[in-house]
């Protein structure tokens, strides 16, 4: 039996080295996409009853389908992830044409991620959760941005450990 911190560090071993903090307990009600949408009540993904996905976007689940979702939420593609005042950025991780994960840039330039059914984490670098390990996500393939909107849970966390 392992705890939530061990579960995360076993899958993303670079996090402790690079700097991170667990900011919520595990929760299977929402995922990383919902985290970007400030929705902690629904699992945002296409094609399965009980998940939430805007009907007008169809059932596709490629990386580009997720890019279209974020465009639907007001994001447009960005050349990079450097912090800019008043700009909200997200980093979309993938492998080939497949979507793996999306991380949210906090106001201080660090990142916030909901790791599947595991908890939320604040991580100092975008690279801490990507790599070639068996559970690490693929590289960041697309950055997107929009005018910054409040995301208090990503700033404070649901819990303070």
Interface with other proteins (CB under 8 A): 7, 11-12, 26-29, 31-33, 41-43, 45, 47-52, 61, 66, 98-102, 114-118, 134-135
Q: How many Å separate Cα 109 from the centre of its chain?
A: 14
Comparing CB distances to other proteins, the nearer of 46 and 81 is 46
What is the Cα Rg of the chain in Å? 15
CB of 63: closest distance to other proteins in angstroms? Answer: 9
CB of 43: closest distance to other proteins in angstroms? Answer: 5
Comparing CB distances to other proteins, the nearer of 17 and 135 is 135
CB of 133: closest distance to other proteins in angstroms? Answer: 9
Comparing CB distances to other proteins, the nearer of 28 and 85 is 28
Exposure string (b/e) for 52-76, b if CB count within 10 Å is 16 or more?
Answer: bbeeeeeeeeebebbbbbbeebebe
CA 9 → CA 18, 78, 98, 119, distances in Å? 12, 30, 24, 12
CB of 99: closest distance to other proteins in angstroms? Answer: 5
Comparing CB distances to other proteins, the nearer of 84 and 158 is 158
């Amino acid at each position: 039996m392992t705890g939530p911190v061990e579960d995360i560090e076993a899958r993303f071993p670079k996090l402790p080295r690079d700097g991170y903090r667990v900011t919520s307990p595990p929760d299977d009600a929402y995922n990383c996409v919902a985290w970007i949408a400030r929705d902690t009540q629904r699992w945002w993904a296409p094609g399965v009853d009980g998940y939430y996905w805007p009907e007008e976007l169809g059932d596709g689940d490629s990386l580009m389908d997720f890019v279209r979702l974020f465009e639907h939420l007001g994001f447009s593609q960005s050349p990079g992830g450097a912090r800019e005042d008043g700009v909200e950025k997200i980093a979309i991780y993938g492998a080939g044409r497949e979507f793996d994960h999306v991380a949210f840039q906090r106001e201080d330039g660090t990142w916030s991620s909901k790791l599947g059914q595991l908890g939320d984490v604040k991580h100092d670098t975008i690279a801490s959760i990507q790599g070639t390990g068996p559970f690490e996500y693929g590289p960041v393939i697309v950055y997107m941005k929009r005018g910054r909107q409040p995301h208090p849970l990503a700033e404070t966390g649901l819990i303070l450990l």
